[in-house]
Structure 1
Amino acid sequence: MTKSRTSVLIVGAGPVGLALAGDLGWRGDACTLIERTDGAISAPKMDMVGIRTMEHCRRWGISDWVSHSPYPRDYPQDNVFLTSLTGYELGREAIPPKNLEKRPPQSPQNRERCPQDMFDPILTRFVRQFEHVDLRYRTELVDFGERDDGVVATLRDHAAGRDYQMTADFLVGTDGGSSAVREKLGIGMSGQPVLTYTTNIIFRCPDLPELHDKGRAYRFIFIGPEGTWLTIVAINGADRWRMSIVGTAEKKTFTEEEVKDLIRRAMGKDFDFEILTIVPWVRRELVADSYGTKRVFIAGDSAHLMSPTGGFGMNTGIGDSVDLGWKLDAMIRGWGGADLMRSYEIERKPIAVRNVSESSGNLKRMLSSRDRKPPAEIFGDSEAGRQARKEFGDWYAEQMRREWFTIGIHLGYRYENSPVVYSDGTPSPADEIATYTQISRPGSRAPHVWLADGSSTLDLFGRSFVLLRLGRDAPDAERFLRAAKARNMPLDVQVLDDEEACKIYQYRLVLVRPDGHVAWRSDNLPKDAGEILDVVRGARSSAVNERNASRVA
C-alpha cells in the first residue's frame, strides 16, 4: 500500500477544516486536508461570519475577500415578525445593510453576511495560496491508529479507486456532527440530542420581494395560531431563499407537495417558485465529552452541536481552529511544551458549553409564542386586531432582541483556568451578551485600539508571542528576549506609547499569544521570565494557576 506523510492530517473540508488548514499554511506548516465529497455546497448551512472570525480573517489577509463577497452590501438585514408575507406585520427589528452598519469601537472589523457557498470558496482560495498545504477532495478517512510518535491513517481516493496510508504527527477531525474521527475515538456527547426536528428548503424565486408589501429583509419569522412555525432567510440577497420548518421534538417528514403548501401558506397566496433542495435535520444541544487524545483532536461540529439561532456554530468552530493552529505549530517546530495540546480542550470546551447554551436560549425565546399563543385577534382586520398585533409584536420583539445583538458572545469569551495562561488572580468579570468591555486580563482577547498609523493593536498579533511594552517607562524586555531565544520560542516586542492603549491595557507589560489572547501581564519584570514563558508554552505548571484551580475545585 502506498504511503505518504504530513505534519497534520485534517479530516473534513468545511469552513472549520479550511480555517485550520489555512492557519497552519499561513504559519508555514505542511498539512493535508481531505474531504470525502467534491466540496460543492448545494444547501448553505451558515451565512453570518462573526466579528471575531472577521478579526481572524483580517490577520490572514482575507477580510476584504469576505466583505466583498457577492452578497449585496445594500441588502437590509431586518428581522420581521409576521403572519404571512401578504398578511400582517407584527414587528420588526431594523438592522442596516452591511454598507451602512457602523463598526463597533471594540474592533477593527464588522460582522459580515457571507453564506457558506460564498465563504467556503474564499477559505479554499486562501488555503490554495500555500504550496505546503495539500487539499484533496473525494478522499475519505477509512481508519486510523494512534502511536506515541504520531498517527497512521488509511485513506480512500474515490476518484482513483484505491486505498493508501498516510502518517502524520497529528490528526484533527473537522468532519461534522456525525464525525468518524469522534466515533473512532469512542467519544460520547452530552446534552439534549433533540431540540426540534427541522426541515430546510432552499427555493428559488427572483421576484419574491415584489410579491408582497413587507420589503426586503434578511429574515422573516412566521407566527400562526400555533405560534412560531416557520422562518425564511434571504440566502444570497437575490433569488435564493432558505425556508425552515421549525418543527418540534416529534419527528415529522414532509412530502414535496406538503412543502409547497407551506411555502404558499407563508406567502399567503399562490406564486411561482422552484424547490432546489429539501433537507431534514435535527437541532441539537450537545458537547463532546472529550476533545481528543494526545495526537488526535476534534473541532467544530465534531465537538459541539447547537441550534443555529444566534449564528454561533461555525464561528465557535473557527475559534477551535485558531486555538489549535498556533499550538500545533508550536509542537511541529519543537518549542511547545508537553502540556500545550492538553490546554486545547480546557480552553475551548467551556466556550462550546457557553455558546451551545446561548443558542438553545435563543431557540426557546423564538418559540416562546408557542407557550404564549398569539390572540386570535391578530389575524383579523379590526381595531382590536391592530392593538393586539402591536402588543404581541412588541412583546415578541423584546423576546428576540437578545439574539440579534451578541458582540459579547463573539468577543468576550475567556480562557479561565487554562494551564497555558498565567493567571494574575484578578476576579472574572461578568459574562456580557449585547455589550462588550475590553480588558487585558489573562485569558481574554487582547483589546483593540486604533494606532496613529491607522493600524489596530490586533494587527500586531498572530505570527508569534508579542510582548507589549506600554508607556514610556515600561520595563526593558531584554530578559524576555533572552529567555525566548534559549527556548527557540518566537517572541516579538512592541512598544506602544499611546494614551488610549495604555488606558485600556492598564499594565506596562502584556504578553499576547499568537491567537491574540493575553497570556500574562504585570507592571514589573518577573524575577524569572523563563518561568513565565515555560508556563504559557505548556512546559511547566504555574503555582498561581494551581492555587486558582484548587479554589475552583
Structure 2
Amino acid sequence: MAETKHILIVGAGPVGLALAGELGWRGITCTVVEKSDGSIAQPKMDWLGTRTLEFCRRWDIVPWVHAAGYNRAYPQDCAYVSSLNGFEFGREVLPSAEKEEALPQSPAPRGERCPQNFFDPVLRRFASQFPSVKLRYQTELLGFEEHGDHITARVKDLRSNKEETIEAAYLIGCDGGGSSVRDAIGIKMEGPGTLTYTTNAIFRTEDLDALHDKSPAYRYIFIGPEGTWSTVVAINGRDEWRFSLVGDATRQMPSEEEMRAAIIKAVGREFKFEILSMLPWARRQLVAENYGRGRIYIAGDAAHLTSPTGGFGMNMGLQDAVDLGWKLEAALQGWAGPELLHSYGLERRPVAIRNVNEATDNLKRMLAPRLAKPGPEIFEPGAKGDAARKAFGDQYNEMMKREWYTVGIHLGFIYEGSPVIIPDGTPLPPDEVSTYTPTARPGSRAPHIWLAEGKSTLDLFGRGFVLLCFGGVNADELSKAAERHYVPMRLVMIDNSEARKLYERRFVLVRPDGHVAWRSDQAPDAREAERIVAIVRGANSAQQAA
C-alpha cells in the first residue's frame, strides 16, 4: 500500500483539539473523530495554567482566549462560608484576569479562567484554520487494527449511519476517562480509584451577588457542622454557576428537586434560578500503566484521571499533546529513532503521577473539616463566634493556599531519566508546588527571559530544535550532525548577560516542546555531535550511550 502520513485522533475535547491544532501548526495531516456534536453542557475544566498559556502564546491564540466569553473583570477570590447569607470564615483574595500580570518566570500570568464551553471553541477554531486538519463530529470509532506500518480504523457517521475505513500512520486516543482506545489495547489504569461521588448542576440566576452580602468570589466553599459539603464556581463570571454537591465514596444520584434544595441551602435564601444541566460523576485518582505502544497512544483523561482540585487535568493533557505532537512529526518526517515515540510515556507518566497525587492531597485539604469537625461556636453570632471563625478561617485558608498557588506544578516538571535527554550530572532540584526556580538543567522547561520588548526566549522555541549559543561562539559540528540526519535545528546567538547567567552553559539545545535536551560549556567535536543528535532524535537512548 502507499505510505500514509496521516494521524487519526479519537476525541475532540480540549486535548484532542489541541493535538490536532499542534499537528496542523506543524503541517501534519490529521483527522479528529468525535461521537458527540461538540456542544458542552457541563464544562469539565475552567483553568488554563501558566504553561498552557505559554502554548497559547506560541500558537498566537491568547487574544482568542481573552475574548472567549468569561468576564475577565470578575474577581477570582476563593471564599469559605457557611452559606452566602451566613458566616464567612475567610478568603484568599485573587485579582481578576484582566488585572493579572505576567509572572517573573514566564511571559504569561498565573493562569486564565476559560471554562471548557469557552476553551473548546477556541481550540476548534485554532485547529480548523489548518487545511491539513479535518474535524468530524458525530462520528464514532467502531474499532481498529494495527498492521505494522499503518492503522486501519472503522468509523461510523452517526447522522447517516454510513461506515467507512480510515487509514493512518498513528492513532491517538484522546477519548476521555472511559477511553475505548485504551481499553482496546489492554492498558490498565493504576491507583486507588474513586475518591468521591459528586454531582454538578449548572444553574443560571440573574444576579447572584445581589442575593447576599459577601464580596464577589469565583469560588465559594461551603462548610457546615458536617464539614465541607459543596462548592459554587463561576462559569462565565456573570449569570451562570456550577454547584457541586460533594459526596463520599458512596455512589449517589440526587434528583433535581434535591439539587434545588441544596443550592438554596448554599445560598441561604429562596431565589429564582434555572438548572441548565446536571451531571453525576466520580472523582478519581488513576494513571495509565503505560501511554501506548507501536502506532497507538493515549493522552489526556484517557491516560490520567484526577480530582479537579488544583486544575491540573486538562493542563496536563495539553502538555501531553505538545510532547507527542513534535515526536509524531519527527516519526512522519523520518528522522525519529525508535526511542523517540517510546519516550512520550516515559516522560509524561511520572508528571501525571506527581500531579494526580497533589490533586488528591488538595481534595483532602478541602475536605479536612469533615474529619476534624468545626466547633459549634463558629456558627454562633457574637464576639465569641467572630473570634472562633477568624481562628478557623485563618487556619483553613493557610492550608488551602497550596491549591491556589501552583506555579511549580505548571512549570517545574522535569523529564528526569528520559532516554532522549542527555543529563549533565547536576543534581535534581527540589520538586516545589507553590514556588518555582527556573533552571536550564536538561529535562527542564527552558527558562523565560525577556530578550527585548515583548520578546521572550520562549518565543524562539517550537518549530524545531534550537541551539542557543552564548558568548559569540557556535557549535558548527552539532549543526552539521543534525543536517546529516534531517533533524530540524537552528542556531541562535544570544547576547544577553541575564540569559547567559540563567542558562548557565555556553551551549544549550532546546527541543521543539521547549524542554532542554543537552547543554555544555564545550562545543562538541564531530563524534560527540553525532552522539548528541542520535540521542535527542531517539536513535540511541541516553542510558545506552552513557
Query: What is the TM-score when the length of structure 2 is the normalising length?
Result: 0.98
Residue number in structure 1 paired with 2:236: 236
Match of residue 511 from structure 1: 509
C-alpha deviation, 1:6, in angstroms:
5.8
Q: Which runs of 5+ in 1 are unaligned?
A: 548-553
Deviations 1:362-382 (A, max 9, x none): 000001111111111111112
SS at structure 2 position matched to 1:339: helix
Counterparts of 1:100-499 in structure 2 under 5 Å?
100-110=99-109, 111-472=111-472, 474=473, 476-499=474-497
Distance 1:15 1:538 in 2: 28
Per-residue deviation, 1:68: 3.0
> Alpha-carbon deviation of 1:54?
0.6
Compute the displacement of 1:459 (Å): 0.3
Q: Which moved more, 1:489-498 or 1:60-69?
A: 60-69
Gaps of 5+ in 2: none
- Distance across 2 between alignment mates of 1:60 and 1:259: 41
Who is 1:501 aligned against? 499
Q: Which residue identity lines up with residue 483 of structure 1 in the other structure? A: A
Please give the secondary structure, in 1, of the residue aligned with 2:232: strand
**Quick one: distance in 1 between partners of 2:206 and 2:299?**
37
Q: Tell me, what secondary structure is at the counterpart of 1:341?
A: helix
1:73 matched to 2:72: yes
After the TM superposition, which parts of structure 1 deviate over 6 Å for at least 4 consecutive aligned residues? none
Counterpart in the other structure of 1:23: 22
Looking at structure 2, the residues matched to 511 and 194 of structure 1 have their Cα atoms a distance apart, in angstroms, of 42
Q: Is the 8 A contact 1:156 1:163 kept in 2?
A: yes
Structure 1 Cα separation of the partners of residues 64 and 348 of structure 2:
27
- Give 1:148 shift: 1.1
**CA shift at 1:5, angstroms?**
6.4
Greater CA drift, 183-192 or 306-315: 183-192
* Aligned equivalent of 1:89: 88
Structure 2 residue 57 is the aligned partner of structure 1 residue 58: yes
Residues 57-66 or 429-438, more deviating: 57-66
**Cα pair 1:447 1:504 within 8 Å, conserved:** yes
Deviations, residues 128-171 of structure 1 (Å, cap 9, x unaligned): 11011111001111000112101111011112211110111000
1:188-232 alpha-carbon deviations (Å, 9 max, x no partner) = 111021100000010001211000011211000000011000000
Check conservation: 1:5, 1:166, Cα contact below 8 A.
Answer: no
One-letter code of the match for 1:302?
A
Q: Deviations 1:27-76 (Å, cap 9, x if unpaired)?
A: 00001111000000111111101110110111111122112322112110
CA distance in 2, matches of 1:454, 1:100: 18
Which is worse superposed, 407-416 or 528-537?
528-537
Contact kept in structure 1, 2:418 and 2:542, CA below 8 Å: no
Report the AA paired with residue 489 of structure 2. L
Using the TM superposition, give the Cα deviation of residue 261 of structure 1 relative to its aligned residue in structure 2, in angstroms: 0.8
RMSD between aligned alpha carbons? 1.3
Paired amino acid for 1:467: L
Contact kept, 8 Å, 2:5 with 2:332, in 1: the verdict is no
Amino acid aligned to 1:130? F
Distance (whole Å) between structure 1 residues aligned to residue 516 and residue 66 of structure 2: 28
- In 1: Cα distance, 2:220 partner to 2:545 partner: 50
Cα offset, 1:100, TM superposition: 1.4
Partner of 2:41: 42
CA distance in 2, matches of 1:82, 1:454: 41
CA distance in 2, matches of 1:420, 1:105: 29
CA separation in 1, counterparts of 2:139 and 2:3?
14
Once residues 185 and 36 of structure 1 are traced to their aligned partners in structure 2, the CA distance between those partners, rounded to angstroms, is 20
Deviation, structure 1 residue 7: 1.1
Contact 2:230 2:244 in 1 (8 A): yes
| 1:398 CA drift (Å) | 1.2
Aligned with 1:451: secondary structure? strand
CA distance in 2, matches of 1:255, 1:25: 44
Displacement of 1:4 in angstroms is: 12
C-alpha contact 1:152 1:166 (8 A) present in aligned 2 = yes
Check conservation: 1:6, 1:167, Cα contact below 8 A: no
CA contact (8 A) 2:4 2:150 kept: no
Letter paired with 2:291:
Y
For 1:38 and 1:495, locate their aligned partners in 2 and report how far apart those are by CA, in whole Å.
48
SS at match of 1:463: coil
Q: Structure 1: how far apart are the matches of 2:364 and 2:53?
A: 28
Change (3 A) 1:295 1:341: same
- TM-score between the two structures when normalised by the length of structure 1: 0.96
| Residue correspondences, number | 542
User: Does the 8 Å CA contact 1:4/1:165 hold for their aligned counterparts?
Assistant: no
Cα contact 2:510–2:517 (8 A) shared by 1: yes
